[in-house]
Each structure stands twice: as C-alpha cells, then as structure tokens.
Structure 1
Amino acid sequence: MHFDHTYAQKLSDMVSQVRISPLLEPKLALYNEQLAEEIELKNEFSQADTLFAALFTPDGCLNQQGVAQKYGGHQFGGWNPDLGDGRGVLLAEAVTEKQQSWDLHLKGAGKTPYSRFGDGRAVLRSTIREYLASEALHNLGIPTSRALCLISSKEIVYREQPETGAMLIRACQSHIRFGHFEYFYQSNQLDKLDKLFNYTFQQHYPSFLDHENPHYSLLEQIVLSTADLIAKWQAFGFCHGVMNTDNMSIHGITFDFGPYAFLDTFDPDYICNHSDHNGRYAFDQQPGVALWNLNALAHAFTPYLSIDQIKQALTQYETRLQSQYAELMGQKFGFKRVSNHDMQLVNQWLALVAQDKRDYTQSFRLLCDENLNANKLADHFIDRSKAQNWYQAYLARLAEESIPKNERLMTMKEANPKFILRNYLAQNAINAAETGDFGECERLLKVLSNPFDEQPDFEHYAQTPPDWGQSMEISCSS
C-alpha cells in the first residue's frame, strides 16, 4: 500500500489546503480491522500514537496534503452554492498492491474555508452513528462509505447543548458528489467542470474513455447505480433522511450519514429527520427524490450531451429501480421469478404491515419461520382475517415453483435480516460511549456484522424497540 493524492494534485485550483486541528486528549476509540486489512492499512494506524502522529503533526503523512473540497448542492430542493467540506478534510488515497484506490476522509478536522459560521468539529454522537450505520449497511450488502476509525476526546463543542468532540476517518471510492459537478456548471466555470469530468474518467471510469460518448456512459452509470442503491434502501427499510444533492455520490453509495433510520413500525410516510417539516425525504419519497437529484445533476452534462441523450439516460432510472426492487422483494418472499402479479402480492403484504403498524424487519423475518402456519401469521396481525387470506394466496404462489422448503427458507433468510441498526440501539451505544465506555459499540458492531444469522446470545438486539425508541426523529446537527 502507498498513499497518493491525485485529487489535490490534478485539481489543485478546486481545493483549499487545510491543516487538521488536533482534539483535546484524543483517544482511538474504535478501529475497523476488517476494513484496514482490505485497504492494506492494518498495521499502519491501529496504534493510537502512530495514527495521531500521522494526523496531528505538521509533517504527518495524513496531514501534509489534506484539502477541503469545494462543491454546491440542492438542499431541500433549493440551490446553495456556498457549500464545501466545512468540517472535513480529504487526507489521501490509499492505493493497494492491486491498484485499488480508497479515499481517506477525516470528519471533524476543524475549520476550513467552507465552515461558514461553524466550528468545523463533529460530535461523538454523530461519529458513532456514522460508524455504526456504514458497517450495518455494508454487512447487509448495501453500497456505502465505511468507517476506518473513530477518535474520541475531552474537547467540548456546542450544539443544542455541550457535547463531546470526536473525529472519524471514512473510506470509499471517492468523495465526488453530484454537487461537485453542479457547482462548476452553475457558476459557469466550464473549464473546471471539464477538468473534473476528465479527472473522473481517468481515475474512476477509465474504460469510458474508449466509448463512443464517455459523458453519456458516465451519466448512464450514475443513473443505474443510483437506482440500484435506492432499490436496496427501499427493500431493507432504510431512510437516509437528508438526500440533498451534495449528499449523493457518483458511485451509487450511501454517503454522508445524518438523521438516518431503519424502519421500526412500518409507515411508508415515515420522516426520520426532524428538520424535514414537509416530508420531502420521507421513506416513500426516496425513489422520486433520487430521480429529482439525477435531473439536477444532468444539467452539468448539457455542455457535452444533447437533451435527447440526457433524457435517454434518465429514462433508464425507473425501469432499473423497479426491476431491482422486484428482484430483491422476490428474494425476501422466496420467489424464484417475479411477475407483476407477484408484486401485487408484495404490495398487499406491505399494506397489511402498514395498516396494523407491525415491525418492518420482524414481519419479513417471520416469513422465514419453518414452523409458520396461517394461525401463527395471523397472531402477528390485528386483522387476522386479512392476514390469513393473504397467507393462503402466498402459499398458492409458492406452490407454483418446485423449490424445496428448506432451500427456499435458507434463501429467504439471506434476504431478510434478523438484526438491523435501530436508532434506539445506536442511542444506547452513544449513551455508554459518552461515559467513556465503548463496549456497547463493539457488541453492536459484532451483532451487525452477521445480520442474517440467528445469534441466540444477542436475541435482545432483535426485539421490538421500547416505546421511547419507536420511530425516533434525529437532528441534522453534528
């Protein structure tokens, strides 16, 4: 492994060099050994003194070339050009022996030219939530940035109330957002827009340079990967909470965690962000918002593509989303092939779960029970008659495919997690960590590393949330 910094080098006039502001009495609280091994960093920074020397000393290898990126974004539908890495620093790219490149990005680094009125810090609460969520999604098979390590401290920062300052290093293919392209297009800096496109092709999609129209291939790829991501969010019941275009990645990964939530009681209109007063980013609005964001991004392609070409690329979103979502739901229900009639059965199930306010994850996991029968299913619902009628239709559908029951149930269990990151579980881990105890974080990460397994010793992590933990709304503030 070696470090590179192509973004800072090739796009030097589009970044600002930033020095990291050390935290008061930093402590290496969590370290992701699995990820570190994957990006060949296992031995470099697993010890606090080595990591802090790299981050906080003037000549440290992660502090020498740190930069803040400039971008804009549509926030709750309104254009904001005054965005950028306000508390983040792009540290470097870790390049493995197989020439795989991983961006290393520090959250909570201190003030940057884009901090506006903020202090550039992150708080322990938000860094723990991002660490847990990124690992939870990764282990569910949902594309995401990942957390490499979490650094706690004795520093006090002020939000709605005094909180503990912290830092998090995350890794992903790149930190290029929809908002990068939007900013340079909207500000009419077309020379920089062209440089950004060329960099994106060279570093991330070099094969597209051999295509007849590289810009069309790139837009098409972003459209399809975004559709794939949203299909997985909807199938697993994940709410991002703040789908601004500056929080959308060109790689189709879950990015910039804020007030996210996994569904507890199934409510299609669930809003997890208490700042989202109009429900723009409610759970069932996510597919439409993603398409809106893609349309916003597509404006930056107009110097290179015709309107018809842009429409052709964007039109693929809905078809891809529907096909991927149908495939995922077919796996959850044990269908080998999924028809339009099957999706009616799926939607009837979702309507029943919503009507009776049942837990989303537990309801799907119930279908994997080898001892399931009509009465047992009906016991899960209030409307027993409707539940039993649905179950009879479901059994009739399963009978159309000659799949052995044990084989079908095994496949279904691999598509229906028993354990998800519920907000109340994250809050319990945060409460303990704020006293200096990261044991609950470690236990929760262990459970979430195998979300589809039974794990009898951790059965309580799969239980319905207590009343205080149901459908929590989370603040954007971090």
Structure 2
Amino acid sequence: MTSLTEIARSTSVNPAAPIPFDNTYTRLPEAFYQRVKPATAPAPTLVRVNDALARQLRIDPQFLKSPEGVAILSGNVIASGSEPIAQAYAGHQFGDFVPQLGDGRAILLGEVVDVAGKRYDLQLKGSGRTRFSRGGDGRAAVGPVIREYIVSEAMAALGIPTTRSLAAVLTGESVMRERVLPGGVLTRIASSHLRVGTFQYFAARGDVENLRVLADYAIERHYPEARSAEDPYRAFYDAVVAALARLAARWMLIGFIHGVLNTDNTAIAGETIDYGPCAFMDVYHPDKVFSSIDQFGRYAFANQPAVIKWNLTRFAETLLPLMADGADKAIEAANASIRLFNDHFNQAYLTGLRQKLGLASEIEGDRELGSDLLALMAENQADFTLTFRAMCEAAADTKGNAGVRTLFANPPAFDEWATRWRERLSLEERPAEARRTAMRAANPMFIPRNHRIAAAIQEAEAGHFDKFHELVEVLAHPYDDQPEYAHYGKPPAPGEEVLQTFCGT
C-alpha cells in the first residue's frame, strides 16, 4: 500500500506557492474523476474569507482577498499546483439507487496540508458544469452559498465534525431557479469528499480492482491504523461505523436535521457534508421535517440514526468483495460490524445527554430521565436550545426553574420532572457552580436559527451582507452569552418561523 506522502512526493509540490497544493487523489486512476476547468465568472467580487481557517491551511488570507486570490476562488484562474477535477460517485437518494451522480456543480481544486499535518480537500461549489451535471447548469445561487457558509462554520464552532467554508464569492452573473438570483461560489474545505456513494459507484460496476484502490486510499488517508489489522477492510468498516454513529449522536444532541441524508451525502470521514435543506429545530418535536423534498419524512429528526445505519449497511455491501475469505464469512463479518452501530451511538448519545443535564456520574435511569424531558418538551412546544440553556441556571439554583417553566406551554408540566432531576443531581458530588459551567459548555446559547439565515439570505440576494457577517461572528462563539447579540438567541416571532428549507440546486 503506497502512502499518501509517497504519492504527494511524486508530484511537483511548491510549498512557496500562495496555495500549497499537495495532491494525491489525481494520482488515482481516471475512472475516479473527470479533469475539468471551472467556468469563468464575469465580474467576481469577494463576500467573505475565513481568515482563521486560511491560516490553519497555511494560506495567507490577504492573498485570498487580493484580485489574484478572488480570481482563484471564483474559478477564473487555476492556481499553481491545482489539478481541477469532478469526482465520480453514485448513491441512494431517498432510498432509490442512482448508479451515477458525481460532482455536478462542484470542482475539487486540489489538496492542502494544514499546520498540524492534516490533509484537506479544497473545492469550489457552484463552479460550472461537469459530465456529472445531469442537465443542471452547475451554478449556485448566492442563497445556498450563504446558508452553507453560516451553518458549516456554526457546526464547527459547536464542536460537530463538519466540512468548513473558506470563502464566498459573487460571480457577477445571474442564475435561474424559481426566479432570477445572483450567482455565487463557495470554497469548501473537507477532510475528503469520499462518500458511501463513491464506493457504490465502483461496486455497481463490478469494478473490484478500483474498489480496492479506493478502499486502500481511504484507509491510508483517514484510518491508517486499519492497515495493520488482520482484516484491514473489516477494521476500516468498523472505524467508519463508529465515526458516523458518533456524528449522528452529536446531531441529535443539538437539534440538527440534515434534511437530505442520502448515501452520496454520507462522508466516510465522519463529517457533516452538504448543507442544502438542513435546519436546526426551534420548538422540539422528534418528527420535525424541514426539507421541501422530503415529502414522507424519511429524514425526519428522530429518523437520522436509523438512516445513517441504513446507509452504512449499503456501505458494507460495497466492501463484501474485499472483506474476509469467501462471501459467507464477509457477510458474517459485516453483520457483526453493523450491529455495533447501536452501541457506539447509544454510548455517545448518553454521554452527551448526561453533559446536557449536568450529570457527571453514570447511574442507571439517566437515559429515561432525558427521554422523559424530551417528551415533555414535545408535548409543551418548548424550544430545544433555550430549554437546555435555561437549565444551566436551574442546575445551579432552584430559582432558575422559573426560566425553564416559561418555555413550556403548560409550565407545571416541568415541575414534576424537575423534582426527579433534582433528586438525581443530589447524587452528584460536583459543586453547583462547576455543574453550571460544565452545562453551559454543552448547551449552546446560539444556533443558526432558520429565520436568521433566511433574513441574511434575503439581504444577500439584494446585494447586502451585513446580516450575514454579523450572524457568522455571533455563531463563532455559540456557548458565550454575548448580551449585545441576545436577540440572535431568541426563537422566531409569529410570522418569522421558517417551515420549509430548500436544496437550492
């Protein structure tokens, strides 16, 4: 198995280049991608550069803000060392298999290695047509660009594994969706863009040789410890199962709904990818759906762990030719691995739930205590984020109960549960103030609320970005009170609630 370092050394890497590309994916067979040039933008203008992320990636943010940098971020200029490609993949979309999808409006410019030695993809979204566009224009409107920038950076600040946003650019041209909208390009950063659907692409073609090449590459890039296992591909699968189980648990703990959780949007690195019709809940309900294309609630909030497990089962099917010796043993190994999903998820979820409730010790019945609270919240239309944040104060002082009760349609409904909670807290040795501090680190004050995103997008479509910039700055510190921005923590007023979100393609 050739290492990524050896692959990168086989290329002409220029560490002095403004963007120090260090590419490996383009060394794989060309069945994996199409070489393609980004479409040009007639009048690109910069909206925002993520300075801190740029520095992490060893890129000078001032260069990205220069005319040359904006030309690269818009697709008008191919930077030194960049090898633009559109990646091939397949996928189950709402349960139906599509054997060829691929990057229809995204182009991978190349890879960079950050200050800690970690490899990242640098990709343009909205950069024009490829052979995978399936009749689409390959462009992005400014709205989806703004949405992904806001939510992906908020997720990173919340501590959720995610792709990141490096820059947003206006192209100077219009795109047609339901109406004419300004065009934009997002520069997305990811640990990689390898998906369950990438493996399905080769499995569907019976191409075991390239499937093995892909698996070896993924192991080397993301799970190198699997190389030394007795069955490297089983160890690789186990690692992906664990990573995605933990990711699903973290979504559930912050009220996040992905919205389009297809296998082509399931990254094997265990990161959240694709922020199309995603949303955070205001009022809690387990059956909440926002995505306009999820007509039957397949990807409703409470369904997300089961959907991830279903996607991982499809992933296992692609790896069967590589695992164990013989079909029966491979199936047996895969089944044993997928059965571990529930254990990984439950452990991660219960650990996080205890943190949200202020519980440092582990006592039987904690899961039921949390589940009963969520049931009461659903019955009483309580705001998910504000309820848990208010409980931070209630955990330190019984006077804080008042702040929680007001969030319930029937305030006395909280009282009986609160009595049980306080009995459980009495078994803890941690001082009240330390408990409050720990809970505040687990329960954010600020999330990217749908009505705030909608307002920022509406303003951006009119050519103004003050709301976008301010929202990004507030969400960079989700666990701090930020009293001057307290209004960003409030739920939507009547008439402001966003009931549907859209893919934007």
Instruction: Give the structure 2 partner of residue 156 of structure 1.
Output: 174
Shift of 1:167: 0.3
Which residue among 184, 187, 191 is the counterpart of 1:166? 184
Which residue among 212, 215, 218 is the counterpart of 1:200? 218
Instruction: Give the structure 2 partner of residue 424 of structure 1.
Output: 451
Instruction: Give the structure 2 partner of residue 387 of structure 1.
Output: 414
140-149 or 64-73: bigger deviation:
64-73
Give yes or no for contact 1:23–1:166 (8 Å, CA) kept in 2: no
Give yes or no for contact 1:423–1:469 (8 Å, CA) kept in 2: no
Which residue among 86, 96, 118 is the counterpart of 2:136? 118
Shift of 1:473: 0.8
Which residue among 445, 449, 453 is the counterpart of 2:472? 445
Shift of 1:376: 4.7
90-99 or 147-156: bigger deviation:
90-99
Q: Secondary structure at the match of 2:112?
A: strand
The C-alpha deviation readout for 1:426-468, integer Å capped at 9, x for no partner, is 1111122222221211111111011011101001001121223
Give yes or no for contact 2:105–2:137 (8 Å, CA) kept in 1: yes
Pairing 1:143–2:167 present: no
Question: TM-score if structure 2 supplies the norm length?
Answer: 0.91
Instruction: Give the structure 1 partner of residue 124 of structure 2.
Output: 106
* Residues 390-469 of structure 1 aligned to structure 2 (within 5 Å): 390-469=417-496
Instruction: Give the structure 1 partner of residue 24 of structure 2.
Output: 6
Structure 2 segments unaligned to the other structure (5+ residues): 1-14, 324-329
Aligned length: 477
Q: Secondary structure at the match of 1:156?
A: strand
Instruction: Give the structure 1 partner of residue 316 of structure 2.
Output: 298
Q: Secondary structure at the match of 2:458?
A: helix
Give yes or no for contact 1:134–1:144 (8 Å, CA) kept in 2: yes
Q: Secondary structure at the match of 1:74?
A: strand
Instruction: Give the structure 2 partner of residue 283 of structure 1.
Output: 301
Q: Secondary structure at the match of 2:88?
A: strand
Distance of aligned partners of 1:377 and 1:93 in 2 relative to their CA distance in 1, 3 Å threshold: closer
Which residue among 355, 364, 368 is the counterpart of 1:344? 368
Shift of 1:371: 4.8
The C-alpha deviation readout for 1:119-138, integer Å capped at 9, x for no partner, is 00011000100000110000
The AA in structure 1 aligned to 2:467 is: E
The AA in structure 2 aligned to 1:357 is: Q
CA distance in structure 2 between the partners assigned to 1:412 and 1:268 by the alignment: 23
Which residue among 375, 386, 408 is the counterpart of 1:362? 386
Shift of 1:10: 2.1
Pairing 1:176–2:203 present: no
RMSD: 1.6
Shift of 1:154: 2.4
The AA in structure 1 aligned to 2:449 is: R
Give yes or no for contact 2:200–2:315 (8 Å, CA) kept in 1: yes
Shift of 1:59: 5.2
Q: Secondary structure at the match of 1:276?
A: coil
Give yes or no for contact 2:86–2:106 (8 Å, CA) kept in 1: yes
Give yes or no for contact 1:329–1:346 (8 Å, CA) kept in 2: yes
Shift of 1:58: 5.7
Instruction: Give the structure 2 partner of residue 307 of structure 1.
Output: 331
The C-alpha deviation readout for 1:28-56, integer Å capped at 9, x for no partner, is 10100011111111347422412244354
Distance of aligned partners of 1:191 and 1:458 in 2 relative to their CA distance in 1, 3 Å threshold: same
The AA in structure 2 aligned to 1:355 is: E
Distance of aligned partners of 1:78 and 1:340 in 2 relative to their CA distance in 1, 3 Å threshold: farther
Shift of 1:4: 2.0
Q: Secondary structure at the match of 1:50?
A: helix
CA distance in structure 2 between the partners assigned to 1:217 and 1:342 by the alignment: 32
CA distance in structure 2 between the partners assigned to 1:58 and 1:385 by the alignment: 63
CA distance in structure 2 between the partners assigned to 1:353 and 1:283 by the alignment: 15
Shift of 1:375: 4.7
The C-alpha deviation readout for 1:72-117, integer Å capped at 9, x for no partner, is 0000001001200000001110123553211001101101000011
Question: TM-score if structure 1 supplies the norm length?
Answer: 0.96
Instruction: Give the structure 2 partner of residue 24 of structure 1.
Output: 42
CA distance in structure 1 between the partners assigned to 2:428 and 2:441 by the alignment: 19
185-194 or 48-57: bigger deviation:
48-57
CA distance in structure 1 between the partners assigned to 2:448 and 2:310 by the alignment: 28
The C-alpha deviation readout for 1:173-199, integer Å capped at 9, x for no partner, is 110000000110012111211111122
Shift of 1:384: 3.2
The C-alpha deviation readout for 1:256-293, integer Å capped at 9, x for no partner, is 11100001011110001011111000001101100000
The C-alpha deviation readout for 1:312-344, integer Å capped at 9, x for no partner, is 111111011011100001000100123341111
Give yes or no for contact 1:107–1:168 (8 Å, CA) kept in 2: yes
The AA in structure 2 aligned to 1:123 is: A
CA distance in structure 2 between the partners assigned to 1:128 and 1:81 by the alignment: 30
Give yes or no for contact 2:39–2:76 (8 Å, CA) kept in 1: no
Instruction: Give the structure 2 partner of residue 215 of structure 1.
Output: 233
Give yes or no for contact 2:449–2:491 (8 Å, CA) kept in 1: no
Pairing 1:60–2:79 present: yes
CA distance in structure 2 between the partners assigned to 1:444 and 1:454 by the alignment: 14
Shift of 1:382: 2.9
Give yes or no for contact 2:383–2:407 (8 Å, CA) kept in 1: no
CA distance in structure 1 between the partners assigned to 2:37 and 2:426 by the alignment: 64
